[in-house]
């Protein structure tokens, strides 16, 4: 399981995925289907997501099924950027 902040044209979203990488072709295709064709993103430690999102985290995580391998944990960009310091973010990924 991975968590990541995806910065899109309309702002950041925080997602959970069961894919091993945010640049995995199947995940990239899923994002494209949702209208997200270009992203800059950063992995976020799962422990931080669990700690900062409390009871909301397991609700979203438990709804993640094998056929539904991408979940949005937060879509409020302002809230996401207030929740995580830049120094807490993990490796950057780019999809173009």
Predicted confidence band of residue 68 (pLDDT cuts 50, 70, 90): low
Task: Tell me the pLDDT tens digit for each residue of 42-64.
Answer: 999 999 999 999 999 888 877 65
Whether the per-residue pLDDT at 65 is higher than 80: the answer is: no
Note down the domain range covering 64. Answer: 2-95
Cα 65 to Cα 42: distance, rounded to the nearest angstrom = 23
Task: Tell me the pLDDT tens digit for each residue of 83-92.
Answer: 999 999 999 9
Cα 8 to Cα 51: distance, rounded to the nearest angstrom = 25
Q: How many domains does the chain have?
A: 1
pTM: 0.89
Average pLDDT of the chain is: 90
């Amino acid at each position: 399981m991975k968590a990541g902040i995806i910065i899109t044209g309309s702002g950041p979203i925080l997602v959970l995925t069961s894919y091993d990488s945010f640049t995995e072709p199947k995940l990239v295709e899923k994002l494209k289907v949702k209208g997200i064709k270009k992203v800059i993103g950063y992995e976020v430690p799962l422990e931080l997501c669990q700690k900062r999102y409390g009871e909301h985290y397991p609700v979203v995580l438990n709804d993640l099924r094998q056929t539904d391998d991408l979940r949005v944990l937060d879509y409020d960009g302002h809230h996401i950027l207030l929740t995580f310091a830049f120094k807490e973010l993990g490796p950057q990924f780019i999809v173009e």
